[in-house]
Amino acid sequence: MLKLFIGMISKKCNENDIRLMFSPYGQIEECRILRGPNGLSRGKKYFIRQQLPPLSWQKLDN
């Protein structure tokens, strides 16, 4: 299992937006937006997936 942390994403994004952005790189098992005590997004997300194909790292890095 791979857990990927993503920062600097618009606070307007929701879980579905993140899934749509990253689904071309493989199936996402879980996607969670980190929220503050007030329930608002902190602009940080992570998702969990089984594996990430090697070429996907190059695409995500560009």
List, as one string, the DSSP characters of 2-46. Answer: EEEEE-S--TT--HHHHHHHHGGGS--SEEEEEE-TTS-EEEEEE
The model's pTM is: 0.61
Give residue 36's pLDDT.
84
In whole angstroms, what separates CA 27 from the centre of its chain? 11
Give residue 5's pLDDT.
81
The domain spanning residue 44 has which CATH number?
Answer: 3.30.70.330
Residues of the chain falling short of pLDDT 50: none
Give residue 12's pLDDT.
85
Residue 12 structural domain = 2-61
Give residue 30's pLDDT.
84
**Domain total of the chain:** 1
